[in-house]
Amino acid sequence: MDTSEKHMFFRILLSYLSVLIVPVLIGILIYHSAVTSATKIVRNYSHNMLNQSVNTIDARLKELESLPFFLESMPELISLSSYESIPKGSPEMYDVYQFYKRMPKFSLINNIISNIQVVLLNNEFILMENNALRITPQTYAGLLSYTGMSYDDFLTFSRDRLYSNEFVPFTGTDGKVTPTVISSVTDGNTRFPLALIIIQLKESSLKKIMTELLIDPESSVFLLDENNNLITSVQGADSMLSFEDVKAYLLTHPKTDSEYQDDIVTTIQSRYIGWQYCIFSPKEAVMSSMLAAKQNVILLVGLSLVMSIAFTAMLCLHKASSLKKVAAYLSSGSQDMTFSVKDEFSCLVNAASKLKMSNQELQQNLLKQKPLLEATTLRNALSGAISKPEELQYLFTTLGIQPDHQYFSVLLVTASPADEEKHPEFSRFPVLLSALVREYIEKNAPCPVYCLDIDSRQKAVVFIGSHIEKNVFQKQLLMFADQTRHMAFEESSISLTFCVSDSYDMVDDLSKAYNQSVVISQHATRTQGQYFFTSTDIPEIQKLYVYPIQTELELIRLIKTGSQSDLTHLLDTIRNNNLVERALSSSMIRQLTFSIRSSIIRGLADLPQEQLTSDAYLKIRRTYDQTLDELFQAILQLNSYLVRINNQLNTSKNERQAERIMEYINSHYTNSDFTIYTICEEFHISESFAYQIFREVIGTSFADLLEQIRIEQACQMLTEGNHLIKDIALQIGYTNDNSFRRAFKRVMGVTPGEFASN
């Protein structure tokens, strides 16, 4: 038996002995601690029990803080707070009052809540089941009758609690104090206060919980507010206390445990809402409970100690022979005695032997899997699974695979088909493109590389150089990129672009190198024939993005009414100002995306409700993890939707306007002074809009239409045969018969006389 094995078995022996000795020591410590503190435990027994029940009440009430946040997530509440009037049965009202059906989620609706009212602060409405009523001096008394305060006092009370979450003891019309929770609901984006939630608690539920504080039929529990006003109380069947006596006692005694007549008074302050619980318990019942508790504690500790000593003695006697064998084995250095299968020393020997064999197998497996383990470790570090350098260093050291790397760099390789029409298989099967790129990378790598797939067209490659100068390492990078790009293009018509980070120390800066390659990929300016980009090819990283208020206002205007080309030009300008003319970090790009999204939500808040619930708008409002390009695409889709809706509305509006204009012309065409300016004044429209109505809706010019109507009337009068041409001209709006004759000839192709004779 060699020295290392002896040391191992000595450690086993010590741990074995500790199993026998520790129970005795623990038992002695428990007994000593319990006996010395028994008096204190018993003295505080009653107070601790009562305090635990009070904490239970506090815990339930604290859950009410979740209700405002539950309502803040509802966009319907924001809509309701902006209405001048709320129609009965509106869909927003229905959605808000689904709140009540989801209340069981908080385990409260059947426990402590009696009534909930939501007061909208913007338009002073109170929401009720499928209805909403405005608060006025006339309706106030019927809506909030339990508050016991005037209308003006209630408005002042509401303004003082715009950002509060507190318990208020409202006094009802019956003079009783009603425990009530006042919570403020704010807009999730602007944090502007939207509403107050007034939650009235069930007095019966509070009494049910407080009943648990009664330890005797003569006990009494009083729940008071901070000013010693009674909220509610629970009294045993034999209790004779009145609240007047209790209040007089509290005014003359500090809020601590004391005695009142034959009762022990326990005052417990609520940690959450500022209420206080005054428990009056008969002295005999408390002392009896304390004595029983003390006896139980001593009995339990004594029994535990006896059982611990008995178990330890039995274990020592049973294992004495085995310990002798261990001592003999360690002193002789050889295993010359037999052990039974049931002997625990034999089990220890077998376990140690198996453990040693397992360690040897594990070391062999680690050597075999060294490349895979190293690659996996680098993948985890690159993707952020290992974020601290010391974690990566520890993992390498533990596995015994710490590589001797002098330099490393991260290459972000982007692949695309050189001609998608000739190679449609790359679009149909993206995995084929990914597999080919990986094959070319591994085939041309002059030193260890590890690939991490970002997507089917992009890979992050960790390029590692060992025992090499920095300039030689950088030349290898460029040569590798050139050979890989040339081979991929010649053999498979695949174009590759390489964005390369600076050279770093692997353990400390792996994630920094990857982030730098991503920034280079986002900001490098592509030129014809360039495929290799480094940090020198991008502008200096800026700490601020460019999105002025003028651009924000123009973006909102174009989204509502602009053309796709103008909107695309503005989005390209935003992208150029932030991603081409300057460089931004990934976090700053996310902030820019969030700022654009927020400004759109604010700027479109005045749209009609049906447009605010459209898929095009909700795609922007409810998607929080969009990239900048995805947001721009969603903006273009929203613009297309809004312009189409507005065009439909404008077309319908113009058609109705055209019908009214036609009716007006048919009624006034006989006026010789009738012109298009007459129509503009009558309908309060501009001259250009009037011409647009005639051209796009009616389909002819004003002059041609007026002339057509007049000539049609003249033909009817000529057919009757009892009108002179001069009289006809004057009756249909011409100042003389010569202009009438020319117009008639122009429209009908014949003179009025020829038309009448035929």
Give the 3-state secondary structure of 95-106: HHCHHHHCHHHH
- pLDDT for 341 equals 46
Task: Scan for tokens 């909208």, then name that residue.
Answer: 120
- pLDDT for 569 equals 92
Q: Is 230 helix (H, G, I), strand (E, B) or coil?
A: strand
The half-sphere exposure of 644 on its side-chain side, counting CA atoms within 13 A, is 9
Mind listing the pLDDT tens digit for each residue in 140-177? Answer: 666 665 555 677 777 777 766 666 666 666 666 666 66
Q: Could you tell me which of 63, 27, 82, 40 has the C-alpha nearest to residue 290?
A: 40
- Exposed, middle or buried: residue 240 (CB in 10 Å: 0-12, 13-18, 19+)? exposed
What is the distance between the alpha carbons of residues 679 and 718, in angstroms, rounded to a whole number?
29
- Helices in 44-104 by DSSP H: which ranges? 45-62, 66-72, 75-81, 91-96, 98-101
What is the distance between the alpha carbons of residues 437 and 414, in angstroms, rounded to a whole number?
9
Phi, psi (5° rounding) for residue 165? -145, 95
What is the distance between the alpha carbons of residues 521 and 515, in angstroms, rounded to a whole number?
10
Q: Could you tell me which of 556, 578, 549, 579 has the C-alpha nearest to residue 635?
A: 556
What is the distance between the alpha carbons of residues 715 and 591, in angstroms, rounded to a whole number?
73
Q: Could you tell me which of 195, 34, 29 has the C-alpha nearest to residue 126?
A: 195
Q: Are 503 and 474 in contact (CB under 8 A)?
A: yes
The half-sphere exposure of 594 on its side-chain side, counting CA atoms within 13 A, is 9
AA letter at 612: L
Q: Are 184 and 193 in contact (CB under 8 A)?
A: yes
Q: Could you tell me which of 525, 573, 513 has the C-alpha nearest to residue 384?
A: 513
Question: Do the bridges between strand 407-417 and strand 494-500 make them parallel or antiparallel, or are there none, so unpaired?
Answer: antiparallel
Phi, psi (5° rounding) for residue 525? -85, 115
**Which residues are CB-neighbours of 593 under 8 A, at least 6 positions away?**
626, 627, 628, 631
What is the distance between the alpha carbons of residues 712 and 706, in angstroms, rounded to a whole number?
10
Largest separation between any pair of C-alpha atoms in the chain:
151
AA letter at 453: D
Question: Do the bridges between strand 276-282 and strand 407-417 make them parallel or antiparallel, or are there none, so unpaired?
Answer: unpaired
What is the distance between the alpha carbons of residues 99 and 87, in angstroms, rounded to a whole number?
19
Integer angstrom CA distances of residue 53 from 58, 214, 269, 280, 637: 9, 11, 12, 15, 58
Phi, psi (5° rounding) for residue 109? -60, -35
User: In the chain, what are the domains?
Assistant: 55-207 (3.30.450), 208-286 (3.30.450.70), 370-530 (3.30.70.270), 541-650 (no CATH), 669-757 (1.10.10.60)
Question: Do the bridges between strand 230-235 and strand 258-260 make them parallel or antiparallel, or are there none, so unpaired?
Answer: unpaired
Polymer length in residues for the chain? 758
CA angle 332, 335, 341 (to 5 degrees): 135
Q: Which H or E run includes 584?
A: strand 583-584
Q: How many CB atoms lie within 10 A of CB 176?
A: 15
What is the distance between the alpha carbons of residues 223 and 85, in angstroms, rounded to a whole number?
42
N-terminal to C-terminal alpha carbon distance within the chain: 141
- pLDDT for 570 equals 92
What angle, rounded to 10 degrees, do the helices at 283-332 and 45-62 form?
90
Q: Is 122 helix (H, G, I), strand (E, B) or coil?
A: coil
Residue 261 gets the label, from left (phi > 0), alpha (psi -120 to 50) or beta, of left
What is the distance between the alpha carbons of residues 235 and 216, in angstroms, rounded to a whole number?
10
- pLDDT for 104 equals 46
Phi, psi (5° rounding) for residue 669? -65, -20
What is the distance between the alpha carbons of residues 581 and 583, in angstroms, rounded to a whole number?
7
CA angle 456, 459, 465 (to 5 degrees): 160
Q: What are 463's two structure tokens?
A: 């390029």
Q: What are 94's two structure tokens?
A: 């229905």
Going from the first residue of the chain to its last (758 residues), give the mean pLDDT of each consecutive group of 10, the final group possibly shorter. Answer: 56 59 64 54 55 67 64 63 63 59 50 72 64 65 60 72 65 67 68 70 74 74 75 76 75 65 72 70 66 63 70 63 56 51 53 57 62 59 57 55 64 85 80 86 81 78 77 86 89 88 74 80 69 79 83 89 89 85 77 88 83 80 76 88 78 79 87 88 87 83 87 86 84 86 86 82
Return the bridge partners of 458, or none: 414, 455
Sign of CA dihedral 476, 482, 486, 492: positive
- Helices in 576-627 by DSSP H: which ranges? 586-603, 609-612, 615-621
